[in-house]
Structure 1
Amino acid sequence: MVSFSRRAAALLLGACLAAPAWAADAPKVKFATSAGDIVVEVYPDKAPKTVENFLQYVRDKHYDGTVFHRVINDFMIQGGGMDRNMAQKSTRPPVAHEGRDAYAKGLKNELGTVAMARTADPNSATAQFFINVADNTRTLDPPGPNAPGYTVFGRVVSGMDVVNKIKGVQTARSGMHGDVPVVPVVINSATLVR
Protein backbone atom coordinates (compact mmCIF):
# COMPACT_ATOMS: atom_id res chain seq x y z
CA MET A 1 0.00 0.00 0.00
CA VAL A 2 2.81 2.44 0.84
CA SER A 3 4.70 1.69 -2.38
CA PHE A 4 1.51 2.33 -4.38
CA SER A 5 1.09 5.72 -2.71
CA ARG A 6 4.70 6.66 -3.46
CA ARG A 7 4.30 5.47 -7.05
CA ALA A 8 1.07 7.44 -7.44
CA ALA A 9 2.72 10.53 -5.99
CA ALA A 10 5.67 10.12 -8.36
CA LEU A 11 3.33 9.79 -11.36
CA LEU A 12 1.37 12.85 -10.27
CA LEU A 13 4.56 14.86 -9.79
CA GLY A 14 5.80 13.72 -13.20
CA ALA A 15 2.54 14.78 -14.83
CA CYS A 16 2.71 18.20 -13.18
CA LEU A 17 6.29 18.72 -14.31
CA ALA A 18 5.45 17.58 -17.86
CA ALA A 19 2.70 20.20 -18.33
CA PRO A 20 5.07 23.17 -18.79
CA ALA A 21 7.16 21.11 -21.23
CA TRP A 22 4.04 20.47 -23.32
CA ALA A 23 3.30 24.18 -23.47
CA ALA A 24 6.91 24.89 -24.40
CA ASP A 25 6.66 22.35 -27.23
CA ALA A 26 3.56 23.93 -28.81
CA PRO A 27 4.50 25.44 -32.19
CA LYS A 28 4.80 29.21 -32.19
CA VAL A 29 4.49 31.64 -35.09
CA LYS A 30 5.84 35.19 -35.06
CA PHE A 31 3.99 37.77 -37.12
CA ALA A 32 6.34 40.68 -37.82
CA THR A 33 3.83 43.46 -38.58
CA SER A 34 4.12 47.14 -39.37
CA ALA A 35 2.70 47.76 -35.86
CA GLY A 36 5.15 45.39 -34.07
CA ASP A 37 5.60 41.67 -33.42
CA ILE A 38 2.88 39.23 -32.35
CA VAL A 39 3.71 35.66 -31.33
CA VAL A 40 0.96 33.04 -31.31
CA GLU A 41 1.11 29.52 -29.93
CA VAL A 42 -0.97 26.85 -31.72
CA TYR A 43 -2.42 23.59 -30.38
CA PRO A 44 -2.24 20.63 -32.77
CA ASP A 45 -3.56 18.30 -30.06
CA LYS A 46 -6.84 20.25 -29.93
CA ALA A 47 -7.40 21.29 -33.56
CA PRO A 48 -4.98 19.17 -35.65
CA LYS A 49 -6.33 19.83 -39.16
CA THR A 50 -6.70 23.54 -38.52
CA VAL A 51 -3.21 23.89 -37.08
CA GLU A 52 -1.61 21.92 -39.92
CA ASN A 53 -3.49 24.08 -42.46
CA PHE A 54 -2.33 27.28 -40.73
CA LEU A 55 1.29 26.12 -40.40
CA GLN A 56 1.39 25.11 -44.07
CA TYR A 57 0.36 28.65 -45.03
CA VAL A 58 3.16 29.94 -42.76
CA ARG A 59 5.70 27.57 -44.37
CA ASP A 60 4.49 28.61 -47.84
CA LYS A 61 5.03 32.31 -46.92
CA HIS A 62 1.37 32.98 -47.78
CA TYR A 63 0.94 35.51 -44.96
CA ASP A 64 3.97 37.59 -45.95
CA GLY A 65 2.70 40.89 -47.35
CA THR A 66 -0.92 40.39 -46.27
CA VAL A 67 -2.77 42.90 -44.12
CA PHE A 68 -5.15 42.98 -41.20
CA HIS A 69 -8.04 43.93 -43.46
CA ARG A 70 -10.90 43.87 -40.93
CA VAL A 71 -10.52 45.56 -37.56
CA ILE A 72 -13.42 45.91 -35.13
CA ASN A 73 -12.48 47.36 -31.75
CA ASP A 74 -13.92 45.33 -28.85
CA PHE A 75 -14.43 42.33 -31.16
CA MET A 76 -11.53 41.08 -33.32
CA ILE A 77 -8.79 41.82 -35.84
CA GLN A 78 -8.79 39.69 -39.00
CA GLY A 79 -6.02 39.07 -41.50
CA GLY A 80 -4.20 36.61 -43.67
CA GLY A 81 -6.19 36.80 -46.88
CA MET A 82 -5.74 40.18 -48.56
CA ASP A 83 -2.66 41.87 -49.95
CA ARG A 84 -1.89 45.58 -49.50
CA ASN A 85 -4.21 46.45 -52.40
CA MET A 86 -7.09 44.55 -50.77
CA ALA A 87 -6.87 41.85 -53.45
CA GLN A 88 -7.66 38.40 -52.11
CA LYS A 89 -4.78 35.93 -52.33
CA SER A 90 -5.38 32.47 -53.76
CA THR A 91 -5.71 29.65 -51.25
CA ARG A 92 -5.74 25.90 -50.97
CA PRO A 93 -9.04 24.03 -50.48
CA PRO A 94 -10.89 24.72 -47.21
CA VAL A 95 -10.08 22.85 -44.01
CA ALA A 96 -12.68 20.73 -42.21
CA HIS A 97 -14.37 22.56 -39.34
CA GLU A 98 -13.06 21.56 -35.89
CA GLY A 99 -14.85 24.18 -33.80
CA ARG A 100 -16.89 21.81 -31.65
CA ASP A 101 -13.92 19.50 -31.01
CA ALA A 102 -11.60 22.36 -30.08
CA TYR A 103 -14.30 23.82 -27.82
CA ALA A 104 -14.78 20.46 -26.10
CA LYS A 105 -11.00 20.41 -25.48
CA GLY A 106 -11.09 23.81 -23.78
CA LEU A 107 -10.40 26.27 -26.60
CA LYS A 108 -12.86 29.16 -26.56
CA ASN A 109 -13.15 32.51 -28.36
CA GLU A 110 -11.70 34.40 -25.40
CA LEU A 111 -9.57 37.52 -25.34
CA GLY A 112 -6.24 36.80 -27.05
CA THR A 113 -7.21 33.55 -28.76
CA VAL A 114 -6.74 32.93 -32.48
CA ALA A 115 -9.47 31.38 -34.63
CA MET A 116 -10.17 30.66 -38.27
CA ALA A 117 -12.36 33.06 -40.24
CA ARG A 118 -15.00 31.49 -42.46
CA THR A 119 -18.22 32.17 -44.35
CA ALA A 120 -21.64 30.85 -43.26
CA ASP A 121 -20.43 27.41 -44.34
CA PRO A 122 -18.56 25.92 -41.33
CA ASN A 123 -16.22 24.04 -43.69
CA SER A 124 -15.13 27.12 -45.66
CA ALA A 125 -12.06 28.30 -43.68
CA THR A 126 -8.89 28.61 -45.75
CA ALA A 127 -6.13 31.06 -44.76
CA GLN A 128 -7.84 33.95 -42.99
CA PHE A 129 -7.68 34.04 -39.21
CA PHE A 130 -8.69 36.44 -36.49
CA ILE A 131 -7.47 37.38 -33.03
CA ASN A 132 -10.18 37.96 -30.45
CA VAL A 133 -9.73 41.36 -28.78
CA ALA A 134 -12.62 40.70 -26.39
CA ASP A 135 -14.30 37.72 -24.78
CA ASN A 136 -16.50 36.49 -27.67
CA THR A 137 -17.54 33.16 -26.20
CA ARG A 138 -21.27 33.97 -26.19
CA THR A 139 -21.37 34.88 -29.88
CA LEU A 140 -18.64 32.78 -31.52
CA ASP A 141 -18.54 29.50 -29.57
CA PRO A 142 -20.89 26.57 -30.10
CA PRO A 143 -23.79 26.29 -29.59
CA GLY A 144 -24.30 30.06 -29.74
CA PRO A 145 -25.96 32.12 -32.48
CA ASN A 146 -23.12 31.26 -34.88
CA ALA A 147 -23.32 27.50 -34.21
CA PRO A 148 -21.27 25.42 -34.78
CA GLY A 149 -18.88 28.20 -33.81
CA TYR A 150 -15.50 29.34 -35.04
CA THR A 151 -12.49 27.07 -34.63
CA VAL A 152 -10.04 28.37 -32.04
CA PHE A 153 -6.59 26.89 -32.57
CA GLY A 154 -4.14 29.13 -30.74
CA ARG A 155 -3.44 32.02 -28.41
CA VAL A 156 -1.31 35.17 -28.43
CA VAL A 157 1.63 34.56 -26.06
CA SER A 158 3.56 37.75 -26.82
CA GLY A 159 2.60 41.07 -28.40
CA MET A 160 -0.88 41.65 -26.98
CA ASP A 161 0.16 45.31 -26.76
CA VAL A 162 0.55 45.25 -30.56
CA VAL A 163 -2.86 43.60 -30.95
CA ASN A 164 -4.33 46.36 -28.78
CA LYS A 165 -2.62 48.99 -30.92
CA ILE A 166 -4.09 47.44 -34.09
CA LYS A 167 -7.62 47.17 -32.66
CA GLY A 168 -7.64 50.92 -32.08
CA VAL A 169 -6.65 52.06 -35.58
CA GLN A 170 -8.97 54.25 -37.63
CA THR A 171 -11.02 52.25 -40.13
CA ALA A 172 -13.19 53.06 -43.15
CA ARG A 173 -14.89 51.41 -46.07
CA SER A 174 -12.68 50.20 -48.95
CA GLY A 175 -14.66 49.01 -51.96
CA MET A 176 -16.98 46.26 -50.78
CA HIS A 177 -15.09 45.85 -47.49
CA GLY A 178 -15.91 47.61 -44.24
CA ASP A 179 -13.77 48.09 -41.11
CA VAL A 180 -10.55 48.38 -43.16
CA PRO A 181 -7.64 50.23 -41.52
CA VAL A 182 -7.10 53.62 -43.17
CA VAL A 183 -3.35 53.12 -42.81
CA PRO A 184 -2.64 49.46 -43.73
CA VAL A 185 -1.39 47.18 -40.96
CA VAL A 186 0.92 44.86 -42.91
CA ILE A 187 2.09 41.38 -41.93
CA ASN A 188 5.63 41.68 -43.24
CA SER A 189 6.43 38.05 -42.40
CA ALA A 190 5.13 35.02 -40.53
CA THR A 191 7.75 32.55 -39.31
CA LEU A 192 7.89 29.49 -37.10
CA VAL A 193 9.86 30.23 -33.93
CA ARG A 194 10.95 28.21 -30.89
Structure 2
Amino acid sequence: MHYSRKALAGIAFTLLAGAPAHATTVQFQTVMGDFEVNLFDKTTPETVANFLEYVEAGAYQDTFFHRSIPGFVVQGGGFHFDIETDKASAIPANPTVINEPVYSNQRGTIAMAKPSNDPNGATNQWFINLKDNSSDLDSTQQGYAVFGQVTGNGMAIVDAIADLKFGDFSQTGAFKDFPFYNLPVRDFSQEDFDDGAPVTEDHLVLIQNIVVLDASEDTADGLNPKLSTKDDNNGGDGGSGDSGGGGSTGLLGLLALAGLGVRKLLTSRA
Protein backbone atom coordinates (compact mmCIF):
# COMPACT_ATOMS: atom_id res chain seq x y z
CA MET A 1 0.00 0.00 0.00
CA HIS A 2 2.79 2.46 0.88
CA TYR A 3 4.63 1.72 -2.33
CA SER A 4 1.60 2.56 -4.42
CA ARG A 5 1.05 5.72 -2.43
CA LYS A 6 4.54 6.96 -3.21
CA ALA A 7 4.03 6.17 -6.86
CA LEU A 8 0.70 7.93 -6.90
CA ALA A 9 2.20 10.95 -5.20
CA GLY A 10 4.76 11.18 -7.99
CA ILE A 11 2.02 10.95 -10.59
CA ALA A 12 0.07 13.64 -8.77
CA PHE A 13 2.93 16.11 -8.82
CA THR A 14 3.52 15.33 -12.50
CA LEU A 15 -0.10 16.09 -13.26
CA LEU A 16 -0.02 19.26 -11.22
CA ALA A 17 3.10 20.60 -12.88
CA GLY A 18 1.90 23.33 -15.19
CA ALA A 19 -1.77 22.66 -14.38
CA PRO A 20 -3.91 25.78 -14.01
CA ALA A 21 -5.21 26.69 -10.57
CA HIS A 22 -8.77 25.95 -11.65
CA ALA A 23 -8.33 22.20 -12.21
CA THR A 24 -11.72 20.69 -11.66
CA THR A 25 -11.64 16.91 -11.40
CA VAL A 26 -9.83 15.30 -8.49
CA GLN A 27 -9.53 11.74 -7.25
CA PHE A 28 -9.72 10.82 -3.57
CA GLN A 29 -7.47 7.78 -3.08
CA THR A 30 -8.55 6.01 0.09
CA VAL A 31 -8.01 2.62 1.68
CA MET A 32 -11.68 1.88 0.97
CA GLY A 33 -11.36 2.65 -2.73
CA ASP A 34 -10.93 5.64 -5.01
CA PHE A 35 -13.65 8.08 -5.96
CA GLU A 36 -13.78 11.21 -8.09
CA VAL A 37 -15.08 14.67 -7.28
CA ASN A 38 -15.88 17.29 -9.90
CA LEU A 39 -15.12 20.80 -8.61
CA PHE A 40 -17.24 23.82 -9.46
CA ASP A 41 -14.41 26.21 -10.23
CA LYS A 42 -16.48 28.53 -12.44
CA THR A 43 -19.12 29.23 -9.81
CA THR A 44 -17.18 28.76 -6.55
CA PRO A 45 -13.72 29.87 -7.69
CA GLU A 46 -12.35 31.02 -4.34
CA THR A 47 -13.40 27.82 -2.56
CA VAL A 48 -11.97 25.59 -5.28
CA ALA A 49 -8.73 27.53 -5.40
CA ASN A 50 -8.44 27.23 -1.62
CA PHE A 51 -9.02 23.47 -1.75
CA LEU A 52 -6.53 23.01 -4.57
CA GLU A 53 -3.84 24.88 -2.64
CA TYR A 54 -3.94 22.07 -0.08
CA VAL A 55 -4.07 19.43 -2.82
CA GLU A 56 -1.10 20.88 -4.68
CA ALA A 57 0.90 21.15 -1.45
CA GLY A 58 0.26 17.47 -0.66
CA ALA A 59 -1.45 18.49 2.58
CA TYR A 60 -4.14 15.81 2.27
CA GLN A 61 -1.70 12.92 1.85
CA ASP A 62 -1.96 10.40 4.71
CA THR A 63 -4.95 12.15 6.27
CA PHE A 64 -8.14 10.44 7.44
CA PHE A 65 -11.88 10.78 7.82
CA HIS A 66 -12.18 11.92 11.43
CA ARG A 67 -15.95 12.21 11.75
CA SER A 68 -18.85 10.05 10.66
CA ILE A 69 -22.45 11.03 11.38
CA PRO A 70 -24.64 8.33 9.81
CA GLY A 71 -27.39 9.72 7.63
CA PHE A 72 -25.77 13.15 7.66
CA VAL A 73 -22.09 13.67 6.70
CA VAL A 74 -18.60 12.23 6.73
CA GLN A 75 -15.83 14.74 7.35
CA GLY A 76 -12.11 14.97 6.67
CA GLY A 77 -9.35 17.31 5.63
CA GLY A 78 -8.19 18.39 9.05
CA PHE A 79 -5.74 15.82 10.35
CA HIS A 80 -2.65 13.97 9.25
CA PHE A 81 -1.69 10.51 10.53
CA ASP A 82 1.98 9.66 10.85
CA ILE A 83 2.23 6.01 9.79
CA GLU A 84 5.67 5.71 11.40
CA THR A 85 4.64 6.87 14.88
CA ASP A 86 0.87 6.19 14.74
CA LYS A 87 0.20 9.75 15.88
CA ALA A 88 -2.34 12.27 14.64
CA SER A 89 -1.57 15.94 14.04
CA ALA A 90 -3.55 18.89 12.74
CA ILE A 91 -2.92 20.03 9.18
CA PRO A 92 -1.58 23.62 9.23
CA ALA A 93 -4.32 25.90 8.01
CA ASN A 94 -3.95 28.50 5.28
CA PRO A 95 -5.82 31.82 5.52
CA THR A 96 -9.59 31.53 5.56
CA VAL A 97 -11.64 31.63 2.35
CA ILE A 98 -14.68 33.76 1.60
CA ASN A 99 -17.97 31.88 1.77
CA GLU A 100 -19.55 30.99 -1.59
CA PRO A 101 -22.95 29.41 -0.81
CA VAL A 102 -24.05 29.02 -4.43
CA TYR A 103 -25.21 25.39 -4.43
CA SER A 104 -27.40 23.29 -2.19
CA ASN A 105 -26.09 20.70 0.27
CA GLN A 106 -27.55 17.72 -1.56
CA ARG A 107 -26.49 14.09 -1.26
CA GLY A 108 -23.11 13.55 -2.87
CA THR A 109 -21.93 17.16 -2.69
CA ILE A 110 -18.75 18.21 -0.90
CA ALA A 111 -18.79 21.39 1.18
CA MET A 112 -16.46 23.36 3.41
CA ALA A 113 -16.63 23.00 7.18
CA LYS A 114 -16.12 26.12 9.28
CA PRO A 115 -16.22 27.37 12.88
CA SER A 116 -19.41 28.77 14.37
CA ASN A 117 -20.23 32.45 14.04
CA ASP A 118 -17.71 32.85 11.23
CA PRO A 119 -19.36 32.37 7.82
CA ASN A 120 -16.05 33.13 6.09
CA GLY A 121 -13.95 30.99 8.42
CA ALA A 122 -13.41 27.85 6.32
CA THR A 123 -9.84 26.64 5.85
CA ASN A 124 -8.90 23.00 5.18
CA GLN A 125 -11.75 20.82 6.43
CA TRP A 126 -14.60 19.60 4.26
CA PHE A 127 -17.49 17.16 4.47
CA ILE A 128 -19.50 15.04 2.05
CA ASN A 129 -23.27 15.11 2.38
CA LEU A 130 -24.82 11.67 2.78
CA LYS A 131 -28.35 12.92 2.13
CA ASP A 132 -30.24 16.09 1.25
CA ASN A 133 -29.13 18.40 4.07
CA SER A 134 -30.36 21.58 2.43
CA SER A 135 -32.94 22.40 5.09
CA ASP A 136 -30.18 22.72 7.67
CA LEU A 137 -26.94 23.51 5.89
CA ASP A 138 -28.03 25.87 3.13
CA SER A 139 -29.00 28.55 5.65
CA THR A 140 -27.03 27.83 8.84
CA GLN A 141 -23.92 30.01 9.20
CA GLN A 142 -25.05 31.84 6.03
CA GLY A 143 -24.77 28.55 4.18
CA TYR A 144 -22.08 25.87 3.93
CA ALA A 145 -20.29 26.35 0.63
CA VAL A 146 -20.71 23.38 -1.71
CA PHE A 147 -17.79 23.35 -4.13
CA GLY A 148 -17.99 19.96 -5.84
CA GLN A 149 -19.89 16.76 -6.44
CA VAL A 150 -18.98 13.09 -6.13
CA THR A 151 -19.40 11.49 -9.55
CA GLY A 152 -19.77 8.02 -11.05
CA ASN A 153 -20.18 5.26 -8.46
CA GLY A 154 -18.18 7.24 -5.92
CA MET A 155 -21.01 7.48 -3.40
CA ALA A 156 -20.91 3.68 -3.03
CA ILE A 157 -17.46 4.14 -1.48
CA VAL A 158 -18.56 7.11 0.60
CA ASP A 159 -21.58 5.13 1.85
CA ALA A 160 -19.29 2.23 2.77
CA ILE A 161 -17.23 4.63 4.87
CA ALA A 162 -20.41 5.93 6.50
CA ASP A 163 -21.50 2.36 7.26
CA LEU A 164 -18.40 1.66 9.35
CA LYS A 165 -18.56 1.52 13.09
CA PHE A 166 -17.50 4.69 14.83
CA GLY A 167 -16.67 5.61 18.38
CA ASP A 168 -15.04 7.85 20.95
CA PHE A 169 -11.28 7.59 20.54
CA SER A 170 -10.57 10.98 22.02
CA GLN A 171 -7.78 12.58 24.00
CA THR A 172 -5.65 9.54 24.63
CA GLY A 173 -2.99 7.56 22.80
CA ALA A 174 -2.55 8.65 19.19
CA PHE A 175 -5.37 11.19 19.60
CA LYS A 176 -4.54 12.66 23.00
CA ASP A 177 -4.84 16.22 21.70
CA PHE A 178 -8.11 15.79 19.82
CA PRO A 179 -11.76 15.03 20.72
CA PHE A 180 -12.49 12.41 18.06
CA TYR A 181 -15.92 11.38 19.30
CA ASN A 182 -17.25 10.04 16.02
CA LEU A 183 -14.17 8.49 14.45
CA PRO A 184 -14.96 5.78 11.85
CA VAL A 185 -12.75 2.69 12.23
CA ARG A 186 -12.07 -0.58 10.43
CA ASP A 187 -11.57 -3.95 12.14
CA PHE A 188 -11.49 -2.35 15.56
CA SER A 189 -13.83 -2.09 18.52
CA GLN A 190 -14.52 0.17 21.45
CA GLU A 191 -13.54 -2.74 23.68
CA ASP A 192 -10.15 -2.95 21.95
CA PHE A 193 -9.60 0.73 22.57
CA ASP A 194 -10.80 0.59 26.17
CA ASP A 195 -8.43 -2.33 26.76
CA GLY A 196 -5.51 -0.19 25.63
CA ALA A 197 -5.05 -1.45 22.07
CA PRO A 198 -3.60 1.32 19.87
CA VAL A 199 -5.40 2.75 16.88
CA THR A 200 -3.12 2.31 13.86
CA GLU A 201 -3.24 3.06 10.15
CA ASP A 202 -4.91 -0.33 9.64
CA HIS A 203 -7.94 0.92 11.59
CA LEU A 204 -8.40 4.39 10.12
CA VAL A 205 -10.08 5.38 6.87
CA LEU A 206 -6.91 6.85 5.45
CA ILE A 207 -6.88 9.21 2.52
CA GLN A 208 -3.64 8.26 0.87
CA ASN A 209 -3.79 11.27 -1.42
CA ILE A 210 -6.03 13.60 -3.42
CA VAL A 211 -4.77 14.13 -6.96
CA VAL A 212 -5.83 16.12 -10.01
CA LEU A 213 -7.15 14.00 -12.87
CA ASP A 214 -8.40 16.66 -15.27
CA ALA A 215 -7.27 20.28 -15.26
CA SER A 216 -9.92 21.51 -17.69
CA GLU A 217 -12.21 24.18 -16.34
CA ASP A 218 -15.11 22.76 -18.34
CA THR A 219 -15.44 19.34 -16.70
CA ALA A 220 -18.41 20.41 -14.58
CA ASP A 221 -20.40 21.81 -17.48
CA GLY A 222 -22.40 18.60 -17.86
CA LEU A 223 -23.49 18.59 -14.23
CA ASN A 224 -26.66 20.23 -12.99
CA PRO A 225 -26.24 20.90 -9.27
CA LYS A 226 -29.21 22.34 -7.42
CA LEU A 227 -28.91 25.96 -6.36
CA SER A 228 -28.81 26.78 -2.67
CA THR A 229 -32.15 27.04 -0.88
CA LYS A 230 -30.73 29.77 1.38
CA ASP A 231 -33.15 32.39 0.08
CA ASP A 232 -36.05 29.94 0.43
CA ASN A 233 -35.10 29.63 4.10
CA ASN A 234 -35.02 33.42 4.46
CA GLY A 235 -31.23 33.42 4.68
CA GLY A 236 -31.30 32.33 8.29
CA ASP A 237 -28.16 32.00 10.35
CA GLY A 238 -29.41 29.46 12.81
CA GLY A 239 -27.39 27.00 14.75
CA SER A 240 -24.58 27.46 17.19
CA GLY A 241 -21.55 25.71 18.53
CA ASP A 242 -18.36 24.64 16.83
CA SER A 243 -19.31 23.60 13.34
CA GLY A 244 -16.10 22.34 11.89
CA GLY A 245 -13.27 24.74 11.22
CA GLY A 246 -9.73 24.36 10.06
CA GLY A 247 -8.13 23.73 13.42
CA SER A 248 -10.92 21.89 15.22
CA THR A 249 -12.75 18.62 14.86
CA GLY A 250 -15.92 20.70 14.69
CA LEU A 251 -19.41 20.12 13.33
CA LEU A 252 -20.84 19.85 16.85
CA GLY A 253 -23.40 22.42 15.80
CA LEU A 254 -24.28 20.18 12.90
CA LEU A 255 -24.61 17.24 15.27
CA ALA A 256 -27.40 19.13 16.99
CA LEU A 257 -29.00 19.96 13.67
CA ALA A 258 -28.93 16.30 12.73
CA GLY A 259 -30.64 15.36 16.00
CA LEU A 260 -27.64 13.29 17.05
CA GLY A 261 -25.68 13.26 20.28
CA VAL A 262 -22.01 12.60 20.86
CA ARG A 263 -21.70 8.80 21.18
CA LYS A 264 -19.05 7.24 23.35
CA LEU A 265 -19.82 3.63 22.59
CA LEU A 266 -18.79 2.22 19.26
CA THR A 267 -21.91 1.80 17.19
CA SER A 268 -22.77 0.81 13.66
CA ARG A 269 -25.14 2.50 11.30
CA ALA A 270 -27.54 -0.36 11.69
Bin of the TM-score, shorter chain as denominator length: 0.7 to 0.9
Aligned residue-pair number: 161
| Structure ranking higher in strand proportion | 1
8 Å Cα contact 2:23-2:212 kept in structure 1: no
2-side partners of 1:132 and 1:109: how far apart? 7
Larger deviation, residues 172-181 vs 48-57? 172-181
Q: What is the match of residue 160 of structure 1?
A: 155
Q: What is the match of residue 110 of structure 1?
A: 106
2-side partners of 1:171 and 1:128: how far apart? 19
Q: What TM-score, normalized by structure 2, do the two folds share?
A: 0.58
8 Å Cα contact 1:26-1:41 kept in structure 2: no
Structure 2: where are the runs of 5+ without partners?
1-21, 82-86, 171-178, 186-202, 215-270
| Runs of 4+, deviation exceeding 6 Å | none
8 Å Cα contact 2:166-2:183 kept in structure 1: yes
Partner AA of 1:191 in structure 2: V
Q: What is the match of residue 62 of structure 1?
A: 59
8 Å Cα contact 1:69-1:86 kept in structure 2: no
Q: What is the match of residue 96 of structure 2?
A: 94
Question: 1:82-129 CA deviation, whole Å, 9 max, x = no partner?
Answer: 122332111111111112xx1xxxx11000000001111111111111
Q: What is the match of residue 78 of structure 2?
A: 81
- Residue 26 of structure 1, CA deviation: 6.9
8 Å Cα contact 1:68-1:78 kept in structure 2: yes
Partner AA of 1:31 in structure 2: F
2-side partners of 1:63 and 1:26: how far apart? 16
Question: 1:22-73 CA deviation, whole Å, 9 max, x = no partner?
Answer: xxx9710101001100100001121110010011111111111110000111
2-side partners of 1:91 and 1:41: how far apart? 23
- Residue 136 of structure 1, CA deviation: 0.2
| Structure ranking higher in helix proportion | 1
2-side partners of 1:193 and 1:134: how far apart? 26
Give SS of 1:165's match.
helix
1-side partners of 2:180 and 2:95: how far apart? 23
Partner AA of 1:173 in structure 2: D
1-side partners of 2:77 and 2:180: how far apart? 15
Q: Does 1:192 align with 2:212?
A: yes
Give SS of 2:122's match.
coil
Q: What is the match of residue 179 of structure 1?
A: 182
Q: Does 1:30 align with 2:61?
A: no
Pair 46,38 (structure 1): closer, same or farther in 2 beyond 3 Å:
same
Q: What TM-score, normalized by structure 1, do the two folds share?
A: 0.79
1-side partners of 2:124 and 2:141: how far apart? 20
CA RMSD of aligned residues (A): 1.4
Kindly name which structure, 1 or 2, has the bigger radius of gyration based on alpha carbons: 1
Structure 1: where are the runs of 5+ without partners?
1-24
2-side partners of 1:38 and 1:124: how far apart? 27
